[in-house]
Structure 1
């Protein structure tokens, strides 16, 4: 079963969801750049530094081709979710040592207001949803964000 919860959280992206980078660090840079183009109040370097700092603690590559890079930032007031796709896969130090193709990026406020959507709840929902092979395979083949959102709406 797909997730309407995730579908409703993923932000509109006026940039391609496809990642061209071929290394973990370059993917993080590309993600930071793309989000900074969407969120004009965030600078590319602050997004990159936050994601990189979190990644240095432990990899956010989970398993089944999924990675969940995340960080907390001062300049946002509510949790935001972005989705990116690597058509060729990236070595992201995942638990199962497989390449990561599906990137769910979570930006959380450093000082959240109440009520607050927990990053842990989002991560749990991502992991639960990505356990469904058909959903994961369809998402890997998606051409744009509208297709991703439709897949997440499907029962």
Structure 2
């Protein structure tokens, strides 16, 4: 199994998979908008501010075409993971200076009240899973969330 943890966290996502934005700031705006459409208790602006403030500290573009934007928010109770694809690639100030295609977005509780999955554990699992070439290449060409989940399962 590529990653049961990632598969289980992404399974509830009902946001559109593909990103249309062409630059880093617009990607963060689009991600914020899409998540706010399904998370009615979160405003687009608060997601955008959280992700942007984190991005200003250091880029969340990792390498191998992967970016992991993340933030902690007051209104989040349990850690949430969203997956988005940018088939055209986005310059995201990645460590390897290559465009990012695969976006794993982590929203975690600012003040967790019960045991929760830490964003560091999720980031480690993303990095470990994305080192598997066949998984990464298949994800880049996925056509649906169901296909993404199958890839992470297999």
TM-score range, shorter chain: over 0.9
Number of the residue aligned with 1:131: 131
Q: Distance in 2 between matches of 1:12 and 1:4?
A: 14
Structure 1 portions without partners, runs of 5+: none
Superposed CA RMSD: 0.8
Q: How many residues align?
A: 154
Q: Distance in 2 between matches of 1:131 and 1:3?
A: 12
User: What's the TM-score, normalizing by structure 1?
Assistant: 0.97
Instruction: State the 4+ residue runs in structure 1 displaced beyond 2 angstroms.
Output: 11-15
Number of the residue aligned with 2:8: 8
Q: Distance in 1 between matches of 2:92 and 2:149?
A: 24
State whether residues 11 and 149 of structure 2, in contact with CA within 8 Å, keep that contact through their aligned partners in structure 1.
no
Structure 2 portions without partners, runs of 5+: none
Number of the residue aligned with 2:106: 106
The alignment partner of 2:6 has SS state of helix
User: What's the TM-score, normalizing by structure 2?
Assistant: 0.98
Q: Distance in 1 between matches of 2:67 and 2:113?
A: 26
